[in-house]
Amino acid sequence: MIKHSIKVAKARTLLADQNQEFHEMRMLPSSFYDQLRDKDFEYLKCVLVNVFPDDFNSYCGRIIRQDGRIFKFDLEMDEKESSLWDDVTDKFLETYRQLRKSKPWTVEVVAVQLFNKNSSIPDIG
Q: Which helix (H) or strand (E) holds 51?
A: strand 47-55
Is residue 58 included in any domain, yes or no? yes
Is residue 125 included in any domain, yes or no? no
Is residue 123 included in any domain, yes or no? no
Is residue 64 included in any domain, yes or no? yes
CB atoms closer than 10 angstroms to residue 70: 24
Tens-digit pLDDT profile for the chain (125 aa)? 567 789 999 999 999 999 999 999 999 999 999 999 999 999 999 999 999 998 889 999 999 999 999 999 999 999 999 999 999 999 999 999 999 999 999 999 999 999 999 999 999 98
Q: How many domains does the chain have?
A: 1
Per the DSSP assignment, residues forming a β-bridge with 87 are 71
CA pair distance 48, 83, nearest whole angstrom: 17
Is residue 50 included in any domain, yes or no? yes
35 in helix, strand or coil? helix
Is residue 124 included in any domain, yes or no? no
pTM as predicted: 0.94
Q: Could you tell me the residue range of the domain that residue 63 belongs to?
A: 2-117
Is residue 106 included in any domain, yes or no? yes
Give the pairing type, strands 84-87 and 58-64. unpaired
Is residue 87 included in any domain, yes or no? yes
